[in-house]
Amino acid sequence: MEIKSLKTFIAVAALKNFSAAAKQLYTVQPNVSRQISDLEKELGVKLFTRSTREVNLTETGKILLPEAIEIVANNTRVTELVRAAEDKQQSLRIGYLASACSTFFPQLVSQFSARYPRIKISIQEMTSKEQLNALLENKIDVSFSRPQPLLEKERFSCAEIYTDPLVAAIPDGHPLLKQKKITFQDLKSENFILFKPEEAMDLHHHVVSNCEKNGFYPNITSHHGNIRSLMTVVSAGLGISFVPTCVKYLGLNGCQFISMQELNMTLKLNLYHCAANCPSHITQFVDFCASKDITLGHHIS
């Protein structure tokens, strides 16, 4: 006994007319007649008496009607409960590095949400270090961050989004900007504004080692945990820094971004997610990201 047949039976009983029931159910009258006939054959009873003007329930049909209504109502309730539970389970928590994701992330999330409207998405701006802890503590499902060696050794999968060349950030009006080319030798007397080592260990090491190769140790006047704090200090003219090229697209004022031949370093932006027993909606998001052409400084289509 199918739920569809019971819904048809209820509609015919209420409207006392096959054509009217068909109209209400957005089907045609022969379909309604066939479903009622099949239901009667399955039960081995007559459910309606038919006349030229209307159809009426038989005594057996009158007994079935309240039971049919209850069965359909229970089916609807169960369906709603299951869907509600599924919606609750399908929540996607995304951590992202704002400076590296500014050009593509809003479109990416918007397009994914439009394709999978039942997946509830929450996003949280985090540093790479914060995302590392959040993934390990199961506070986020997906991470857009700089390379996380610890995660790559643990239970997470990693996919590269793009690579990001390192550039020098020089405040407006600085004498260095008048030069055709800038080398580390030109930076001996400069104040260095750098990321905290624990936030960008490879970058910090690369800058310091390049300075040491040129016979000096950098005069590091401050460390910062996020890009906007660092760039505020640079734009104020308090020093120079080295940042990934993606920072150029943040619309920050007060400084110039200069390529240096000695800065032969790129920073990856990676996508991390659980590797084993990964829920289907997380896999859908990862596959969706892989289907997009995400490049540095460009919006996605």
- The string of pLDDT tens digits covering residues 222-275 is 999 888 899 999 999 999 999 998 888 888 889 999 998 888 888 889 999 988
In a domain, 68, yes or no: yes
How far apart, in whole angstroms, are the C-alpha atoms of residue 131 and residue 236?
29
Q: Does 66 fall in a domain?
A: yes
In a domain, 296, yes or no: no
Q: Do 257 and 123 share a structural domain?
A: no
Say yes or no: 262 and 168 in one domain. yes
The tokens describing 197, both together, are 């080592």
Q: What is the pLDDT of residue 85?
A: 66
Check residue 298 and give its pLDDT: 58
301 found inside a domain:
no
Task: Pick the last residue of a domain from 88, 119, 136.
Answer: 88
Q: Whose structure tokens read 């704090």?
A: 229
Q: What is the CATH number of the domain that holds 240?
A: 3.40.190.10
What integer pLDDT is reported at residue 2 of this predicted model? 87
Task: Say how far apart CA 47 and CA 62 lie, in whole Å.
Answer: 8
The alpha carbon of 274 is separated from its chain's Cα centroid by a whole number of angstroms, namely 14
* Residue at 295 is within a domain: no
Number of domains in the chain: 3
pLDDT of residue 263: 82
Shared-domain flag, residues 119 and 31: no
> What is the reported pTM?
0.64
50: CB partners within 8 A, 6+ apart: none
| Residue that is last in its domain, among 88, 112, 146 | 88
d(CA 284, CA 187): 47
Q: Same structural domain for residues 95 and 218? A: no
Q: Are residues 80 and 95 in the same domain?
A: no
Same domain (yes/no): 168, 261: yes
70 with 111, same domain?
no
Give the tokens for residue 45: 């009873």
Q: Is residue 53 part of a domain?
A: yes
Q: Return the CATH number at 9.
A: 1.10.10.10
Residues 33 and 65 in one domain: yes
> What is residue 147's predicted lDDT score, i.e. its pLDDT?
85
Q: For residue 283, what pLDDT is reported?
A: 92
Buried b / exposed e over 145-166, threshold 16 CB at 10 Å, is: bbbbeebeeeebbeeebbebeb
Helices (H), 25-146: 29-43, 59-89, 98-101, 105-115, 128-136
Do 184 and 196 lie in one domain? The reply is yes
Domain end position, chosen among 88, 116, 132: 88
Contact present, 274 and 154 (Cβ < 8 Å) = no
- The pLDDT of residue 139 is 92
The span from the CA of 21 to the CA of 29, in Å, is 8
Whether 286 is covered by a domain: the verdict is yes
Are residue 114 and residue 70 in the same domain, yes or no?
Answer: no
Query: Which residue bears the tokens 């399955």?
Result: 42
pLDDT of residue 110: 94
Q: How many Cα atoms occupy the beta-carbon half-sphere of 101 within 13 Å?
A: 24
Token duo for residue 137: 């503590």
List, for the chain, all residue ranges whose pLDDT scores fall below the cut of 70: 84-89, 152-154, 296-301
Query: 104 and 64 in one domain?
Result: no
Domain presence at residue 299: no
Q: Which domain holds residue 52?
A: 3-88
Residues 169 and 261 in one domain: yes
- What pLDDT is stored for residue 265 in this prediction? 83
